[in-house]
């Protein structure tokens, strides 16, 4: 376990930016422009610390061990806000979820996106719900939230559509109902239309998912996502 590892060491290889030499300790640095006038700029080191804290809150202890991203995953991260779908496909125990967590972390540092929960903002007396900036959720958990028996199935859809980055883990582990398939399509189709980044992990490739999640969802994944095989032995058995 690496629960006590300092944040700076944990994310050293993910491009965590250094603090500005004139950082005031509150996220800003005083600088002089070419005319000698003093101004303030954002300290990227402070911004990086905020990202690191948010990322660490999302990654469970077992997945905090730093790993090397697969070359195709690293290239996806480099696209930053221009990245679209990434589909990590492989047998059980090959490390897909671990790759997904660290791809998420690297993408957050690349784009300086601080993971934050959904919240309600009030402007001039009007309340507005702001979706989470990053949403990492197991597919089975999402399907539970989308069941028609739940009082509010709309909110998980809106949050999943609106997040800057959505990670859907272990898709295909169970077959959802026709209703939840329709809701999943709403999520995937909206992110596809908006060209928003999304990471999916599954034991089967996109086209083979049609029996589990429907032809329309499988087709969107096949078109929208870069499929990256994650190979190797079952690490859990090796452990």
DSSP code string of 193-216: HHT--EEEEESS-GGGGHHHH-HH
User: 205: closest CA among 104, 93, 69, 91?
Assistant: 91
90 C-beta neighbours (distance < 10 Å), count: 19
Whether 104 and 201 have beta carbons less than 8 Å apart is answered as: no
Residues 198 and 124: their CA atoms lie apart, in Å, by 33
pLDDT (tens place) for every residue of the chain, 239 residues total: 445 555 556 777 777 777 888 888 778 888 877 776 777 888 887 888 889 999 999 999 999 998 999 999 999 999 999 999 999 999 988 999 999 999 999 999 999 999 998 887 767 767 778 889 999 999 999 999 998 887 777 899 999 999 999 999 999 888 888 999 999 999 999 999 999 999 999 999 888 888 889 899 999 999 999 999 999 766 655 55
Are the beta carbons of 107 and 165 closer than 8 angstroms?
A: yes
Q: Identify the pLDDT of residue 122.
A: 67
Architecture of domain 67-238: 3-Layer(aba) Sandwich (3.40)
Residues 103/76, Cβ–Cβ less than 8 Å: yes
Using alpha carbons, select from 23, 14, 149 the residue that is nearest to residue 74: 14
| Burial grade of 5 (CB within 10 A; 0-12, 13-18, 19 or more) | middle
Residue 107's H or E segment, with its range, is helix 96-111
β-strand partners of 140: none
Domain extent listing, the chain: 67-238
CA–CA separation, 206 vs 32, rounded Å? Answer: 53
- CA 88, CA 11: separation in Å to the nearest integer? 22
CB 136 within 8 A of CB 104: yes
The whole-angstrom separation of Cα 206 and Cα 180 is: 18
């Amino acid at each position: 376990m690496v629960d006590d590892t300092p944040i700076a060491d944990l994310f050293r290889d993910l491009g965590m930016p250094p603090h500005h030499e004139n950082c005031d300790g509150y996220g800003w640095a005083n600088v002089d422009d070419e005319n000698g006038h003093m101004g303030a700029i954002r300290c990227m080191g402070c911004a990086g610390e905020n990202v690191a804290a948010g990322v660490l809150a999302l990654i469970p202890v077992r997945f905090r061990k730093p790993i090397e991203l697969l070359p195709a995953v690293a290239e996806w991260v480099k696209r930053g806000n221009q990245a679209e779908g990434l589909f990590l496909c492989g047998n059980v125990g090959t490390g897909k979820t671990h790759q997904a967590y660290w791809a998420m972390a690297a993408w957050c540092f690349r784009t300086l996106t601080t993971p934050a929960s959904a919240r309600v903002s009030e402007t001039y007396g009007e309340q507005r719900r702001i979706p989470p900036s990053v949403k990492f959720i197991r597919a089975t958990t999402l399907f539970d939230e989308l069941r028609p028996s739940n009082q509010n199935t709309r909110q998980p859809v809106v949050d999943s559509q609106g997040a800057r980055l959505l990670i859907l883990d272990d898709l295909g582990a169970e077959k959802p109902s026709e209703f939840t398939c329709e809701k999943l399509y709403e999520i995937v189709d909206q992110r596809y239309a908006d060209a928003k980044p999304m990471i999916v992990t599954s034991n089967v490739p996109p086209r083979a998912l049609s029996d589990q999640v429907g032809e329309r969802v499988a087709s969107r994944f096949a078109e929208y996502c870069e499929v990256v095989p994650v190979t190797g032995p079952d690490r859990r058995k090796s452990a």
